Amino acid sequence: MGILDKWDKRYLSLAKKVSTWSKDPSTQVGAVTVGRKKEVLSQGFNGFPRGIHDTDERYHDREIKYKFVVHAEMNAIYNATYSGTSLDRATLYVYGLPICSECAKGIIQVGIKRVVIENSKELDNWNQSVRLSQEMFNETGIKLIIKI
Protein backbone atom coordinates (compact mmCIF):
# COMPACT_ATOMS: atom_id res chain seq x y z
CA MET A 1 0.00 0.00 0.00
CA GLY A 2 1.18 3.52 -0.44
CA ILE A 3 0.54 7.21 -0.60
CA LEU A 4 0.91 8.78 -4.01
CA ASP A 5 2.34 12.16 -4.92
CA LYS A 6 0.55 14.54 -7.31
CA TRP A 7 2.35 13.10 -10.37
CA ASP A 8 1.45 9.53 -9.46
CA LYS A 9 -2.19 10.59 -9.11
CA ARG A 10 -2.10 12.34 -12.48
CA TYR A 11 -0.63 9.34 -14.30
CA LEU A 12 -2.97 6.90 -12.58
CA SER A 13 -5.83 9.15 -13.67
CA LEU A 14 -4.47 9.02 -17.22
CA ALA A 15 -4.37 5.20 -17.03
CA LYS A 16 -8.01 5.30 -15.94
CA LYS A 17 -8.86 7.43 -19.00
CA VAL A 18 -6.94 5.06 -21.29
CA SER A 19 -8.92 2.13 -19.84
CA THR A 20 -12.10 3.63 -21.34
CA TRP A 21 -10.68 3.04 -24.83
CA SER A 22 -11.10 -0.73 -24.39
CA LYS A 23 -14.01 -2.25 -26.30
CA ASP A 24 -14.34 -5.10 -23.80
CA PRO A 25 -17.87 -4.71 -22.38
CA SER A 26 -17.02 -6.36 -19.04
CA THR A 27 -13.51 -5.19 -18.17
CA GLN A 28 -11.60 -2.00 -18.95
CA VAL A 29 -7.94 -1.83 -17.97
CA GLY A 30 -5.53 0.96 -18.85
CA ALA A 31 -1.77 1.27 -18.53
CA VAL A 32 0.65 4.16 -18.99
CA THR A 33 4.44 4.05 -18.89
CA VAL A 34 6.35 7.12 -17.74
CA GLY A 35 10.04 7.91 -17.99
CA ARG A 36 12.38 9.36 -15.37
CA LYS A 37 11.76 12.91 -16.60
CA LYS A 38 7.99 12.48 -16.12
CA GLU A 39 7.38 11.97 -19.85
CA VAL A 40 4.67 9.59 -21.09
CA LEU A 41 6.43 6.84 -23.04
CA SER A 42 3.50 4.64 -24.07
CA GLN A 43 -0.03 3.60 -23.26
CA GLY A 44 -2.07 0.45 -23.59
CA PHE A 45 -5.52 -0.92 -22.88
CA ASN A 46 -6.92 -4.43 -22.93
CA GLY A 47 -8.05 -5.45 -26.38
CA PHE A 48 -7.38 -7.57 -29.42
CA PRO A 49 -4.11 -7.34 -31.39
CA ARG A 50 -3.84 -4.95 -34.33
CA GLY A 51 -5.81 -6.21 -37.33
CA ILE A 52 -7.90 -8.71 -35.37
CA HIS A 53 -11.62 -7.98 -35.66
CA ASP A 54 -13.01 -7.10 -32.24
CA THR A 55 -16.60 -8.16 -32.75
CA ASP A 56 -19.29 -8.24 -30.09
CA GLU A 57 -19.60 -11.98 -30.66
CA ARG A 58 -15.93 -12.51 -29.73
CA TYR A 59 -16.12 -10.22 -26.69
CA HIS A 60 -19.25 -11.92 -25.34
CA ASP A 61 -17.78 -15.44 -25.54
CA ARG A 62 -15.36 -15.55 -22.58
CA GLU A 63 -13.39 -18.52 -23.90
CA ILE A 64 -12.77 -16.84 -27.26
CA LYS A 65 -12.18 -13.40 -25.69
CA TYR A 66 -9.46 -14.70 -23.37
CA LYS A 67 -7.66 -16.30 -26.31
CA PHE A 68 -7.56 -12.98 -28.20
CA VAL A 69 -7.20 -10.25 -25.55
CA VAL A 70 -3.84 -8.63 -24.92
CA HIS A 71 -3.60 -7.19 -21.41
CA ALA A 72 -3.17 -3.43 -21.03
CA GLU A 73 0.29 -3.78 -19.45
CA MET A 74 1.59 -5.85 -22.35
CA ASN A 75 -0.01 -3.49 -24.87
CA ALA A 76 1.85 -0.58 -23.25
CA ILE A 77 5.08 -2.59 -23.55
CA TYR A 78 4.34 -3.61 -27.15
CA ASN A 79 3.43 -0.03 -28.10
CA ALA A 80 6.72 1.25 -26.70
CA THR A 81 8.60 -1.44 -28.61
CA TYR A 82 6.64 -0.68 -31.78
CA SER A 83 7.88 2.92 -31.66
CA GLY A 84 11.42 2.04 -30.53
CA THR A 85 11.04 3.44 -27.02
CA SER A 86 13.01 1.93 -24.14
CA LEU A 87 11.15 1.32 -20.88
CA ASP A 88 14.35 0.81 -18.88
CA ARG A 89 13.83 2.29 -15.39
CA ALA A 90 10.32 3.52 -16.28
CA THR A 91 7.25 3.55 -14.05
CA LEU A 92 4.11 1.68 -15.08
CA TYR A 93 0.69 2.93 -13.96
CA VAL A 94 -2.21 0.47 -14.20
CA TYR A 95 -5.90 1.05 -13.62
CA GLY A 96 -8.64 -1.58 -13.62
CA LEU A 97 -7.17 -4.89 -12.48
CA PRO A 98 -4.12 -6.08 -10.57
CA ILE A 99 -1.10 -7.32 -12.51
CA CYS A 100 -1.13 -10.99 -13.42
CA SER A 101 2.04 -13.07 -13.28
CA GLU A 102 2.31 -13.22 -17.09
CA CYS A 103 2.37 -9.43 -17.36
CA ALA A 104 4.78 -9.24 -14.41
CA LYS A 105 7.29 -11.28 -16.43
CA GLY A 106 7.05 -8.80 -19.30
CA ILE A 107 7.43 -5.85 -16.93
CA ILE A 108 10.57 -7.38 -15.48
CA GLN A 109 12.05 -8.20 -18.88
CA VAL A 110 11.79 -4.64 -20.26
CA GLY A 111 13.40 -3.02 -17.21
CA ILE A 112 10.44 -1.24 -15.62
CA LYS A 113 11.48 -0.48 -12.03
CA ARG A 114 8.32 0.88 -10.44
CA VAL A 115 4.65 -0.13 -10.73
CA VAL A 116 1.69 1.85 -9.38
CA ILE A 117 -1.77 0.28 -9.32
CA GLU A 118 -5.17 1.32 -8.03
CA ASN A 119 -6.39 -0.78 -5.10
CA SER A 120 -9.02 -3.09 -6.55
CA LYS A 121 -11.64 -5.48 -5.21
CA GLU A 122 -10.16 -7.88 -7.77
CA LEU A 123 -6.97 -8.22 -5.69
CA ASP A 124 -8.72 -10.99 -3.75
CA ASN A 125 -10.08 -12.72 -6.88
CA TRP A 126 -6.66 -12.81 -8.54
CA ASN A 127 -4.88 -13.65 -5.29
CA GLN A 128 -2.56 -16.44 -6.49
CA SER A 129 -1.43 -14.64 -9.65
CA VAL A 130 -1.03 -11.32 -7.82
CA ARG A 131 0.99 -12.99 -5.06
CA LEU A 132 3.33 -14.49 -7.65
CA SER A 133 3.66 -11.07 -9.33
CA GLN A 134 4.53 -9.49 -5.98
CA GLU A 135 7.10 -12.21 -5.28
CA MET A 136 8.74 -11.67 -8.67
CA PHE A 137 8.73 -7.88 -8.20
CA ASN A 138 10.30 -8.23 -4.74
CA GLU A 139 12.98 -10.59 -6.01
CA THR A 140 13.90 -8.32 -8.92
CA GLY A 141 13.79 -5.05 -6.98
CA ILE A 142 10.70 -3.61 -8.66
CA LYS A 143 8.79 -1.31 -6.33
CA LEU A 144 5.04 -2.03 -6.28
CA ILE A 145 2.78 0.71 -4.94
CA ILE A 146 -0.90 0.03 -4.42
CA LYS A 147 -2.96 3.19 -4.10
CA ILE A 148 -4.93 3.17 -0.87
Say what the pLDDT of residue 122 is. Answer: 63
CB proximity list for 114: less than 8 A, separation 6 or greater: 90, 91, 92, 142, 143, 145
Active site residue 73: yes
pLDDT tens for each residue of 40-99: 999 999 999 999 999 999 999 999 999 999 999 999 999 999 999 999 999 999 999 889
60 annotated binding-site participant: no
Tally Cβ neighbours within 10 Å of residue 50: 9
User: pTM to 2 decimals?
Assistant: 0.93
pLDDT tens for each residue of 4-51: 889 999 999 999 999 999 999 999 999 999 999 999 999 999 999 999
Return the exposure string of 73-105: e unless at least 16 CB atoms fall within 10 Å of the residue's CB, then b: bbbbbbbbeeeebebeebbbbbbbbbbbbebbe
pLDDT tier at 118 (50, 70, 90 boundaries)?
confident
**Which domains are assigned to the chain?**
6-146 (3.40.140.10)
100 annotated binding-site participant: yes
Q: From the candidates 39, 63, 73, 139, which is the catalytic residue?
A: 73
